[in-house]
Amino acid sequence: MIPKQTEVVVVGAGPVGLAVAVSLAEAGRQVTVVDRQSAGANTSRAAVMHPRTLELLERIGVSKRLTELGIHVEQFSVADGNRTLVPLRFDRLPTAYPYVLMIPQNVTEQVLLERLTELGGSVHRPYVAAGVRQSADGAEVTLESGEVIKAQYVVAADGMHSKIRDLAGLGFSGDGTLPLNFTLADVKVEGGLPKEEVLLYFSKAGILVAAPLPDGNYRLVAEVEEAPEKPDVAYAQQLLDTRGPKERARVTEVIWGSRFRIHERVADRYRERRILLAGDAAHTHSPAGGQGMNLGLRDAVVLGEALATAVETGDESKLDEYATAGRAEAVRVVALAHRLTRLATVPAAVRPARNAALRLLAKLPRFRRGLAEQLAAIGHR
């Protein structure tokens, strides 16, 4: 039975909605989570977790479990064939998590859901939030099924096409779509690729990311002229042959594949009185640097704590802080991902000069460390 009254309603049980709910449940607050899907998505999607995200997720009791389930990658390198252009070390960063954690999004969601269940919470599925209203002392979400849930606050964690954000009149502006097509494939590979390093190939033919996944598979991502709806073995093989390592890396199976285009937007505001945005509902950008879900999870922990204080004491100052600082952080991350994407996708004629310049720059320890800190999101904490 879905409750008629709660303290906080979270719309959306993606990683961000789940993490907000865990944070509230940890603080002993009542939280009701609804999601339109009858089950969580079972695909790997965002597979990178950065040090700062793990530092924050520690506060909701899930970092240890996540680090047990993922691969700890200490080096991220930009390469051209077998030649390393920029080696970025994460093992020297000042953090308790000196590595990039490779972990598929469905596993992250499972860990968050288990934590929520441990704390006595659950997700109500399938329930579509169709309306939202607020008054001076509360808000209510109307579900398509007719039920109404009254609460003190509503969190819109309902993804990029957020209905709650639009109903609350919060704009979602930006430069729109970058005219680039990306293909993504999780593959089984024999030989050629390291198990302990993420590689970003800047080849003449274009970019290719090759990142190890915990089950022994690899995530390949490439910018291409036209991305197939579902890449097959031959397609993934041709990407590795033309853009990857010099040694033969043989693709034997495609486990999952997809394609995407890039949208760059940040919500004009994160808060409209009792409605708060988090995750893709608040920001969306290029996957360069694997920042999207990380930013959303960091939103979630900070927002969960701010909501717990507001519900308990009536003090909303942390909500305002979240709305201002969270948005500023999103603007910074969108700009970083944009710069990385532009650098990765320069026209073919410019690629040799770009690679030569990068090799020179990478000789500067400050450049390498600064970039690693920005990606890890610990440079400005």
Q: Which is nearer to ligand FAD, 11 or 103 (CB)?
A: 11
Minimum distance from residue 157 beta carbon to ligand FAD (Å): 5
Minimum distance from residue 98 beta carbon to ligand FAD (Å): 20
Tokens of 171: 């704009």
Q: Which stretch binds ligand FAD (CB under 6 A): 1-9, 23-31, 158-166, 305-313?
A: 158-166
CA distance 245 to 76: 15
DSSP 293-318: HHHHHHHHHHHHHHHHHHHHH---HH
167 lies in the site for ligand FAD, by CB under 6 A: no
Nearest to 300, CA basis, from 14, 9, 17? 17
Window 128-147: residues binding ligand FAD (CB under 6 A) = 128-129
Q: Which is nearer to ligand FAD, 297 or 362 (CB)?
A: 297
37 lies in the site for ligand FAD, by CB under 6 A: yes
Window 232-291: residues binding ligand FAD (CB under 6 A) = 258, 260, 279-280, 287, 290-291
Q: Which is nearer to ligand FAD, 259 or 359 (CB)?
A: 259
Sheet containing 172-190, strands listed edge to edge, beginning at the edge strand earlier in sequence: 83-89, 75-80, 197-203, 206-212, 218-224, 172-190, 250-267, 283-284
Q: Which residues lie closer than 8 Å to 227 by C-beta, 6 or more apart?
A: 181, 182, 183, 259, 260
Q: Which is nearer to ligand FAD, 150 or 359 (CB)?
A: 150
Cβ 47 vs Cβ 102: under 8 Å: yes
Identify whether 15 is preceded by a cis peptide bond (ω within 30 of 0): no
CA distance 174 to 286: 13
DSSP 77-121: EEEETTEEEEEEESTTSSSS--SEEE--HHHHHHHHHHHHHHTT-
Window 334-373: residues binding ligand FAD (CB under 6 A) = none
CA distance 199 to 219: 10
Minimum distance from residue 126 beta carbon to ligand FAD (Å): 8
Among 29, 50, 52, 163, contact with ligand FAD (rule: CB under 6 A): 163
Minimum distance from residue 352 beta carbon to ligand FAD (Å): 28
The distance of Cα 227 from the centroid of its chain, to the nearest Å, equals 22
Minimum distance from residue 108 beta carbon to ligand FAD (Å): 9
Q: Which stretch binds ligand FAD (CB under 6 A): 32-40, 78-86, 303-311, 336-344?
A: 32-40
Among 20, 31, 32, 45, contact with ligand FAD (rule: CB under 6 A): 45
Minimum distance from residue 312 beta carbon to ligand FAD (Å): 25
293 lies in the site for ligand FAD, by CB under 6 A: yes
Among 36, 243, 298, 351, contact with ligand FAD (rule: CB under 6 A): 36
Minimum distance from residue 213 beta carbon to ligand FAD (Å): 11
Nearest to 268, CA basis, from 289, 258, 283? 283
Identify any residues that bridge with 263 across adjacent strands, giving them in sequence order. 177
Question: How many other CB atoms are there within 10 angstroms of residue 333's CB atom?
Answer: 22
CA distance 59 to 50: 15
Site string for ligand FAD, 78-117 (x = CB under 6 A): ---------------------------x------------
Minimum distance from residue 363 beta carbon to ligand FAD (Å): 29
Q: Which is nearer to ligand FAD, 35 or 305 (CB)?
A: 35
Q: Which stretch binds ligand FAD (CB under 6 A): 76-84, 151-159, 327-335, 355-363?
A: 151-159
Q: How many residues bind ligand FAD (CB under 6 A)?
A: 33
Identify any residues that bridge with 34 across adjacent strands, giving them in sequence order. 11, 124
Among 9, 15, 240, 266, contact with ligand FAD (rule: CB under 6 A): 15
Indicate left, alpha or beta for 288 from its phi (over 0: left) and psi (-120 to 50: alpha).
beta
Residues that bind ligand FAD (CB under 6 A): 11-17, 34-37, 45-48, 105, 128-129, 157-159, 163, 184, 258, 260, 279-280, 287, 290-293, 296
